[in-house]
Amino acid sequence: MNLETPMPAVGRSRWTGLGAFIGTELRVQLHEGLAIATSIVVQAVFLVFVAVLAQGYLPFTLVGAIVFSVFTIGQRIQNEAAWIRIDHKLHELYHASPMTPGAYFLGLSVGVLLAYVGPILVLVAAAVYFIAFTAAAALVLVAVLAAEFIFTASVGYMISTWFRDMRSIWPYSTLFFNLFGVLPPVFYPLGLFPVSLQPVALLLPTSGGTALAERAAGILPLTTGEILLASISLVVSTGAAFIGAVYWARRISRER
């Protein structure tokens, strides 16, 4: 570095400002109390349906509801990132600054997660109580949810950068989140999915993660092969999505 160059007022690391930006986003999100409170309405309705129609499947629907809740946070991250960029142009303040684009993406994501984690914890408490999770099973559930969050935040953030206006995002986002979150065996057991398609379900982060959590809770039998398939796929897709999102965040921070 040229000695004549004025040094920036502060040092900078890859995660400079991360904590502060998480706080910013959390503070912004907490004003949406109603949105937070209603964020699990669909899941609750599904639970009621299943309780009426097929009570025996209720534990599956409960675990699925938790995974789905975490998964839909990606959609909120996507909307928030797109809104900040398209409507507010605030991302330019953060990109032209010591904060890295990766820290921006992660800060926004974790901020949204913290805002929406409350209702999810209610579902988790219900699951732990009704399904009698062991400590090990609870650990698996937390790991699955962590992976789910990283995956969905990464994909949500990437989708948010692909469009120039909010309305053109919605159809794609609806499609993506329903195809991955509702259609495959998330709210219902893997066994009810067509046998030939079950490996595909295990490969998807949503239904695969759900199956792993249900297996750990002792409500879904899985072969060792199936466990391996779902675990490896979850780790690989999560890792790839995260690395992809950090790379993409950096690249898109200077538009073409």
Partner 1 sequence: MTPDALRADSVRKTYRGRSGPAIEALTGVSLRLSRAERVALLGRNGAGKTTFLRIASTLLAPTSGEVEIFGHDAIADPESVRPYLAVVPQEGKPFMHLTPREQAYTYLRARGFTRETSKSRTEHALEQMGLTEVADRLSITLSGGQRQRTMVATVISTEAPLLFLDEPTIGMDPFARRSVWDSFRELTRKGSTILLTTHYLDEAEALSQRLYIIDRGRLLAEGTADDMKRSVGGTLRVSVAPGNGVAEQLATFGPLVRDGDTVHVITSPGRIQEILQLAAHSNLTASVGPVTLEEAFLRVVGRSINDES
Cα separation, 139 vs 74, in Å, equals: 22
State which residue, 89 or 223, has the beta carbon closest to partner 1. Answer: 89
State which residue, 107 or 181, has the beta carbon closest to partner 1. Answer: 107
Residue pair 202/229 in contact by the 8 Å Cβ criterion: yes
> What's the closest the beta carbon of residue 171 comes to partner 1, in angstroms?
17
State which residue, 42 or 250, has the beta carbon closest to partner 1. Answer: 250
Residue pair 189/57 in contact by the 8 Å Cβ criterion: yes
Contact positions toward partner 1, by CB under 8 A?
A: 2, 4-6, 8-12, 16-17, 20-21, 23-24, 27-28, 31-32, 84, 87-90, 92-100, 107, 250, 253-256
State which residue, 94 or 177, has the beta carbon closest to partner 1. Answer: 94
State which residue, 65 or 249, has the beta carbon closest to partner 1. Answer: 249
Cα separation, 175 vs 97, in Å, equals: 35
> What's the closest the beta carbon of residue 85 comes to partner 1, in angstroms?
10
> What's the closest the beta carbon of residue 153 comes to partner 1, in angstroms?
18
Residues in the chain: 256
> What's the closest the beta carbon of residue 81 comes to partner 1, in angstroms?
13
> What's the closest the beta carbon of residue 60 comes to partner 1, in angstroms?
37
Residue among 120, 117, 94 at smallest CA distance from 106: 94
Which residue has 């991360």 as its token pair?
18
> What's the closest the beta carbon of residue 97 comes to partner 1, in angstroms?
5
For residue 66, the number of C-alpha atoms closer than 13 Å in the C-beta half-sphere is 25
Q: How many other CB atoms are there within 10 angstroms of residue 193's CB atom? A: 18
State which residue, 9 or 195, has the beta carbon closest to partner 1. Answer: 9
Cα separation, 59 vs 141, in Å, equals: 14
For residue 220, the number of C-alpha atoms closer than 13 Å in the C-beta half-sphere is 31
